[in-house]
Amino acid sequence: MTEQYLNIAITGLSIHHSEELKTQLRNLIPQEYKIKWSTAADPTIDCLFIHENFYETDGIQKIIQSRNFPWLKITKNNDNENILQENTLSLPIVNPQNFSDWILQHLLNTSLENPNEHIFEVNPKKTPYKLEYFSKMLDKERNSKLHLFDNLGTIAIIDVQKNIAWLNPEREQAFTDSGFGYDIASTSNFMKVSRKQTYLLNDWLWQFFWDSPLFLKEIAPEDGHFKIHMWPKPSQNLDRKVVFQLSSCFIQGGKVSKIANQLNIPLETVQRFIAANIATNNLSRINIWDKHFNPPEAPSVSEDAGFIKGFFGKLRKKLGI
């Protein structure tokens, strides 16, 4: 089976603006083209949309200069909404005609001239982001400090043994969506972070990945049995309740789909929770016959809900939360 794809990368935008741009692209690109959302590091991308604040970063400049594809800087400016000039598109897009003309001229014409370049067998995306990838990153036996980065440059330098992180103060983006990686920190890497303030690595890293749902989609399991090692400590009040509920279950071990049903939480949220714990090496796979969180069957929905509510109430009291 073969299909015609356009590989499009969006980098540096917030989730809201990224979804806004994706919606416009779906509406403006003819249906005979299947859109594959890629990363800036993908060597097969056909088009790149990059937030203007990250356009000058070394990683993005290297990608743009080494390959030939159309690209646009994205800016958020209500005074210049819907303006497309000097390779910069202003959001929001009220009248999409200019954007549609740009797509036709720079993206679709290119693809029509070389249609075979975009035809390939549909295979599952291979990703290095397995549990082992993160367990190596957070190996407490490691003596060296690590440089965390993505396509937008330095994220932080971490010292796993001392459980501390130094952040890049010039980075406005508090999440990652593509190209995440790590290597041994060099002297030049240290020049990009501030050592005036340190962060607890466990807490900061968990929050960082939890706030990166687009990245976590690459590693989120469809289902499975897992047990977390420690309770995460989200810094956002909005997330604490759901993270607390999920932690209460998975600290005992549980199945993703079953916990979603028992707590009446969207499956995607539970998968995101598991992925965040994979990325922070705070989780193990367990067997189906291992001990699980499994409240007993109750004769009615109200009694079952009361049991779960009482369970969490006792747990909060015990933990002093």
Torsion, Cα 147 152 155 160, to 10 degrees, reads -40
Question: Does 250 lie in the same domain as 205?
Answer: no
Q: Which domain holds residue 199?
A: 131-212
Query: Quick check: is 175 in a domain?
Result: yes
Which of 154, 178, 212 is at the close of a domain? 212
Question: Does 297 lie in the same domain as 224?
Answer: yes
Res 118: pLDDT: 37
Question: Does 187 lie in the same domain as 116?
Answer: no
Residue 166 Cα to chain centre, angstroms: 20
Angle at 47 between CA 41 and CA 50, to 5 degrees: 70
Which of 66, 97, 121 is at the close of a domain? 121
Which of 93, 121, 149 is at the close of a domain? 121
Query: Quick check: is 126 in a domain?
Result: no
Query: Quick check: is 84 in a domain?
Result: yes
Res 269: pLDDT: 94
Q: Is 69:28 a contact under the CB 8 Å cutoff?
A: no
Mean pLDDT split into 10-residue runs, the chain, 321 residues: 73 86 86 83 85 86 83 77 75 80 78 39 53 89 85 91 94 82 87 93 95 90 93 83 93 93 93 95 87 62 58 63 59
Question: Does 234 lie in the same domain as 148?
Answer: no
Domain count, the chain: 3
Question: Does 199 lie in the same domain as 260?
Answer: no
Question: Does 146 lie in the same domain as 35?
Answer: no
Tokens found for residue 273: 């929770």
Can you tell me which residue has the tokens 């969207």?
Answer: 266
| pTM, entire model | 0.59
Q: Is 154:57 a contact under the CB 8 Å cutoff?
A: no
Res 6: pLDDT: 87
Question: Does 51 lie in the same domain as 17?
Answer: yes
The Cα 89–Cα 99 span in angstroms is 8
Question: Does 311 lie in the same domain as 293?
Answer: yes
Query: Quick check: is 46 in a domain?
Result: yes
